[in-house]
Amino acid sequence: MKWNTTDVELYITAKEYVDTALVPLIPISLDDRMKQLSSMSEFLSILSMEIEKKFKGRILLIPTFHYVMDDEKKVEGLQIWERKLQQAEFNHIFFLTSDINWKKEESYLSSSLVWIPAINLESLPMEQAREVMKQQVEQIISLFMNEWKKKD
Amino acid sequence: MSKRNVSRRQFLNYTLTGVGGFMAAGMLMPMVRFAVDPVLAGGSESDFVATKQKIKDLSTEPTRVDFSFTQVDGWYESEVTNTAWVYKTKDGKIVALSPICKHLGCTVDWGGDKEHPEQFFCPCHYGRYTKDGMNVKGTPPISPLDVFTTKEKDGILYLGQRKPHGEA
C-alpha cells in the first residue's frame, strides 16, 4: 500500500495483514554528484513502486527517507524511524537503497538493509529498461518471500 | 381540385400547427439526441488495447501478457502497464484473468506455489485461485479474480475492460 489517503484507509482496516514496511533511502547532494544521485533516486522510486505493486496487500511503502549525502547523523535519523515502525508492529522492515555507504552502517540497524546498485535507466531504450527493471524486481521479490518464510 | 372551401379559421389552424410543429421539433430533436447519446456511444473501439500476443501462440497454459496504454488521471497523463493471465479453454474460448488478488490487491502468479502448480497463487497471504479464477475456499480471498473482455483482430489479442467474474 502506498502513502496516500485511499491506501492508508485500507491499511487501517486491514492492519493485521500488513506486517511489512518498505523504506527507500535516497541521498541528496547539490555538487557534481547531482546527476548521478538524481538518476539513483529515479531508479529507486520506480523499483519501490514496482515492489509495492506486487505486494500491495502486505507491504506499506513508507515515504522515502531522504538525507544529505555525507551527513554523519543520517544513521541516528533512520534509527528513529526504525523504532517507530517497530512500535507500529511491523514484523518485517526493509530499507532499500543504492547508496553503498549504508553497507558499513548496517550493524547499527536491526532491520534488513537491501542494497541494489542503481542502473541508469535513461541510457536504455524503453523496452529494455522495462526488462531490466523486471529482473531487478524479481530478485527483490524472492528476497522478500524468503524473509517472510523464515519468520512465518 | 376539391370543391370544399378552406375556411379562414381552418387555414390558420393548419399553418399554425405546421409552423409550431417545426419549431417544437427543432427544439426537441437536439434534446432527444443528447439524451440517447450515451447509449449510441457505448462500446467504442478505443476501449480495447492491443497486446503483443498472437492468438495462435496461446495454449491451455496461462501465459503472462503485458499491455500498456495511456491513462489520463486528472491533469496527469501516464503510461500504465497492466498484466493479464491469458489461456485457451478446451473448447477454444480465450480467457483473460486480472492478476490482482481480490483480498488486498497483490499480484498473483500462475503456479507460484510449488504444492499447487495448477493454481494461481498470491504470495502475500497465500491466497489461491483455480485456473478459471475461482477463489479456493479456506484461503484469504473472498471473491474470484476479475476478467478482461477479449477481442481478436488480425490474429492479435485485444484486451478490454476489467469486469467482475461472470460479467465479461
Q: Are residues B49 and B37 in the same domain?
A: no
The span from the CA of B80 to the CA of B68, in Å, is 5
Asked whether residue B154 carries a pLDDT value surpassing 90, the answer given is no
Beta-ladder partners of B78 = B71
Q: Are residues B130 and B150 in the same domain?
A: yes
The span from the CA of B96 to the CA of B65, in Å, is 9
Contact A57 B122 (CB under 8 A): yes
Contact B123 A14 (CB under 8 A): no
Q: How many residues does chain B have?
A: 168
A57 versus B39: the higher-pLDDT residue is A57
Contact B106 A14 (CB under 8 A): no
Residue closest to A55 by CA, chosen among B96, B114, B125: B125
The span from the CA of A33 to the CA of A22, in Å, is 26
Return the pLDDT at A56: 93
Beta-ladder partners of B153 = B156
Give per-residue pLDDT as tens, A65-86. 999 998 889 999 999 999 999 9
Backbone angles phi, psi at B141, to 5 degrees: -60, 145
CB of A53 within 8 Å of a chain B CB? The answer is yes
Return the pLDDT at B2: 59
Q: Are residues B119 and B84 in the same domain?
A: yes
> pLDDT > 70: what percent of chain B?
93
Q: Are residues B17 and B81 in the same domain?
A: no
Interface of A with B in 32-51 (CB under 8 A): none
Q: Is residue B35 part of a domain?
A: yes
CA A144 to chain centre: 12
Among the partner residues A56, A141, A145, nearest to B105 by beta-carbon distance: A56
- pLDDT tier for residue B1 given thresholds of 50, 70 and 90: low
Q: Is residue B168 part of a domain?
A: no
Q: Are residues B30 and B60 in the same domain?
A: no
**Alpha-carbon dihedral angle through residues B45, B47, B53, B56, given to the nearest 10 degrees:** -50
Distances (CA, A) of B88 to A9, B50, B62: 38, 18, 8
Q: Is residue B91 part of a domain?
A: yes
Asked whether residue A22 carries a pLDDT value surpassing 90, the answer given is yes
Return the pLDDT at A149: 86
- pLDDT tier for residue B55 given thresholds of 50, 70 and 90: confident
Average pLDDT estimate for A139-148: 90
Q: Are residues B144 and B97 in the same domain?
A: yes
Mean pLDDT of chain A: 92
Average pLDDT estimate for B118-132: 92
Q: Are strands B63-73 and B49-54 parallel, antiparallel or unpaired?
A: unpaired
Three-state secondary structure string covering chain A: CCCCHHHHHHHHHCHHHCCEEEEEEEEECCCCCHHHHHHHHHHHHHHHHHHHHHCCCCEEECCCEEEECCCCCHHHHHHHHHHHHHHCCCCEEEEEECCHHHHHHHHHCCCEEEECCCCCHHHCCHHHHHHHHHHHHHHHHHHHHHHHHHHC
- pLDDT tier for residue B22 given thresholds of 50, 70 and 90: very high
The span from the CA of B126 to the CA of B91, in Å, is 31
Q: Are residues B96 and B132 in the same domain?
A: yes
Domains, chain A, ordered by start: 5-151 (3.40.50)
B70 versus B110: the higher-pLDDT residue is B110
Indicate if ipTM > 0.85.
Answer: no
B36 versus A109: the higher-pLDDT residue is A109
Alpha-carbon distance B104 to nearest alpha carbon in chain A (angstroms): 4
Q: Are residues B79 and B123 in the same domain?
A: yes
CATH at residue B153: 2.102.10.10
Q: Are B87 and B59 in contact (CB under 8 A)?
A: yes
Q: Are residues B71 and B142 in the same domain?
A: yes
Q: Are residues B133 and B103 in the same domain?
A: yes
Q: Are B156 and B87 in contact (CB under 8 A)?
A: no
CB of A145 within 8 Å of a chain B CB? The answer is yes
Return the pLDDT at B5: 79
Among the partner residues A10, A58, A130, nearest to B106 by beta-carbon distance: A58
Return the pLDDT at A152: 63
Structural domains of chain B, count: 2
Domain membership of residue B30 as a residue range: 1-42
Cell of A19: 506486517
Give per-residue pLDDT as tens, A121-137. 888 888 888 889 989 99
